[in-house]
Amino acid sequence: MILILIGYMASGKSTLGRILAKKLNYEFLDLDDYIEANENTTISNIFKLEGEIYFRKKETFYLKKLLESKTNLVLSLGGGTPCYSNNMEMILNANNAKSIYLKASIPTLIARLKNEKSKRPLIAHIETDELLEEFIGKHLFERSQYYSLANATLSTDNKSEKDIIEELIVKLF
């Protein structure tokens, strides 16, 4: 079984994915890390040298490859992954996968992102909390139609990691 965590950046996909995988004795993979390892470069370099279209094609290629895996796996996707190249359709049609949308509110996302903007190329240039709120709001509006197609949705606001993991397990099994 492949358990796929989707959601906006800083929604907890990688952090919770590692915990969930350990609890279930599954392998954990972050799709961006997997792409970097297979391409021998960073996502930032791929964007800079090859462009977003090239990156999105590679992202779809590696997602498809992982969806064909027979390994028990918790897979954390990049925030944009479900929104491109019919990736969400591919996820929903995979017979060995379940997807869950980790939903965080805009205030929660701002609180998590404002001190780590330099680590996130997509928002590194945003200077104020107000502009960050506007950016996230616009992005969530565009992406929520894809995220909401997941097999299950779980709000992560004001919950401990332990509580979220327990809810995830109930929703997935």
67: domain CATH number? Answer: 3.40.50.300
Cβ count near 74 (within 10 Å): 27
- Which residues does the annotation place in the binding site for substrate? 32, 56, 79, 143
16-25, 120-129, 149-158: lowest mean pLDDT where? 120-129
pTM for the model: 0.93
- Across residues 79-108, what is the average pLDDT? 95
> Looking at residue 2, what DSSP letter applies?
E
- Which residues does the annotation place in the binding site? 10-15, 32, 56, 79, 120, 143
- Across residues 107-120, what is the average pLDDT? 85
**pLDDT tens column, 36-93:** 999 999 988 898 899 889 999 999 999 999 999 889 999 999 999 999 999 999 999 9
Rounded Cα distance, 7 and 139, in Å: 11
**pLDDT tens column, 22-38:** 999 999 999 999 999 99
Q: Where are the alpha helices (DSSP H) in 11-104?
A: 13-24, 31-39, 43-50, 52-67, 87-93
Token pair for residue 3? 């358990």
Residue type, 39: E
- Which residues does the annotation place in the binding site for Mg(2+)? 14
Number of domains in the chain: 1
- Which residues does the annotation place in the binding site for ATP? 10-15, 120
Structural domain span for residue 165: 2-172
**pLDDT tens column, 145-161:** 999 999 999 999 999 99
What are the φ and ψ backbone dihedral angles of 101, each rounded to 5 degrees? Answer: -90, 115
